[in-house]
Chains A and B, each alone.
Chain A
Amino acid sequence: AQSVTQPDARVTVSEGASLQLRCKYSSSVTPYLFWYVQYPRQGLQLLLKYYSGDPVVQGVNGFEAEFSKSNSSFHLRKASVHWSDSAVYFCAVTPRNYQLIWGSGTKLIIKP
């Protein structure tokens, strides 16, 4: 069965520091991959997506993610975080059908 694992429930980073949020998936085929962000009391918004091609994809607000087929991973990165990046980040995959499979989310806390 397909699954998505975000091993870190909470990540704390100092403002201006770099960031990596981890995501690993299990799927019988290479799925489509997504990162969504949820700000407090808001719905989820798409950050970036990967379908094929260049394994590094760029998203909004300076975020990027790198797909690794060999590691079944899709980690999210940002070179320099801002306090406004505080949110919950969700990784999701769709194994080429209608349905998204979600990770449990990583809460990002930015220290001043």
Chain B
Amino acid sequence: EAAVTQSPRSKVAVTGGKVTLSCHQTNNHDYMYWYRQDTGHGLRLIHYSYVADSTEKGDIPDGYKASRPSQENFSLILELASLSQTAVYFCASSDGRTNTEVFFGKGTRLTVV
């Protein structure tokens, strides 16, 4: 079964600190995504990637960087964490065709204090 694994599952970070969220997929998918979920909102796309060593900006990239060192791994980096970045973050993967399923990880709950 397709699998997307996120780590950590939860994290408390200090304002101004650096945070790295990791994602690993075993689906052999080309596309990987980082989404943010806030209460009362749907998912908002932060960054995505369709090939290793390349990332693209999504709808809300400000304050976030992404890294895709291999097809299987995709990281989200908050260089200077802020209170407004408290949210649940989801990693996902798909094979890139528009009519196919997106597979999600279980999410990382990030609290910035």
Q: In the complex, are the beta carbons of A41 and B107 less than 8 A apart?
A: yes
Could you tell me how many residues of chain A have their Cβ less than 8 Å away from some Cβ of chain B?
24
Most buried by A among B4, B43, B44, B58: B43
Q: In the complex, are the beta carbons of B42 and A104 less than 8 A apart?
A: yes
Q: Given contacts A43-B90, A43-B106, is CB(A97)–CB(B99) below 8 Å?
A: no
Interface contact tally, CB-CB below 8 A:
55
The range of chain B's interface size is 20 to 34
Residue in A9, A43, A100 whose beta carbon sits within 8 Å of that of B4 in the complex? A43
Q: In the complex, are the beta carbons of A43 and B104 less than 8 A apart?
A: yes
Q: What is the 8 Å Cβ interface bit string for chain B, positions 35-74, against chain A (1 contact, 0 not)?
A: 0000011111100101000000010000000000000000
Closest to A94 in B: B98
Closest to B91 in A: A43
Closest to A104 in B: B42
Q: In the complex, are the beta carbons of B98 and A96 less than 8 A apart?
A: yes
Q: In the complex, are the beta carbons of A42 and B101 less than 8 A apart?
A: no
Interface flag for B17 (CB, 8 Å): no
Q: In the complex, are the beta carbons of A105 and B42 less than 8 A apart?
A: yes
Interface flag for B34 (CB, 8 Å): no
Q: What is the 8 Å Cβ interface bit string for chain A, positions 1-23, against chain B (1 contact, 0 not)?
A: 00010100100000000000000
Interface flag for A45 (CB, 8 Å): yes
Chain A interface secondary structure, helix, strand, loop or mixed? Answer: loop
Q: Given contacts A43-B4, A43-B90, A43-B107, is CB(A100)–CB(B41) below 8 Å?
A: no
Shortest CB–CB separation between residue A38 and chain B, in angstroms? 9
Residue in A6, A41, A97, A98 whose beta carbon sits within 8 Å of that of B106 in the complex? A41
Q: In the complex, are the beta carbons of A104 and B96 less than 8 A apart?
A: no
Closest to A102 in B: B42
Closest 5 CB pairs of A and B: A43-B104, A102-B42, A104-B42, A102-B43, A44-B104
Q: In the complex, are the beta carbons of A32 and B99 less than 8 A apart?
A: yes
Interface flag for A83 (CB, 8 Å): no
Q: Given contacts A44-B90, A105-B42, is CB(A98)–CB(B50) below 8 Å?
A: yes
Bound Cα distance A98, B44 (Å): 14
